[in-house]
Amino acid sequence: MERMSGILMIPIGDFEADGPSLGSYGLDSMVGAEMRTWLFKEFGLDYSFQKLLSKTLTFRALATVVARTLGVVAVAVGE
């Protein structure tokens, strides 16, 4: 949320971890490209722009994906 706050110049207090989706905060192609680059550089996560715009992708959901990528959280069987 902190990274998106800085990019979009929206106070961090205006973001919610459990929703709405990242796209609802004004994620466009430029911001999406910056987020994708940051996610890859910081966490080694190659996350598509389409996934970033998903209506179900909340900050908490993205954090879970990052945690799984880093091996901090195990992937559940069947995922």
Write out the chain's pLDDT in tens, 79 residues.
999 999 999 999 999 999 899 999 988 889 999 999 999 999 999 999 999 999 999 999 999 999 999 988 766 555 5
What end-to-end distance do the CA atoms of the chain give, in Å?
25
The CATH number of the domain holding residue 23 is: 1.10.1200.10
Residue 76 lies in a domain: no
The whole domain housing 27 covers: 2-70
Residue 55 lies in a domain: yes
Residue 15 lies in a domain: yes
Residue 37 lies in a domain: yes
Q: What is the 3-state composition of the chain as percent helix, strand, coil, each rounded to the nearest 5?
A: 55, 0, 45
Rounded distance, CA 9 to CA 4, Å?
8
Tokens matching residue 44? 């080694």
pLDDT at res. 75? 62
Give the global pTM: 0.84
Residue 14 lies in a domain: yes
User: What is the number of structural domains in the chain?
Assistant: 1
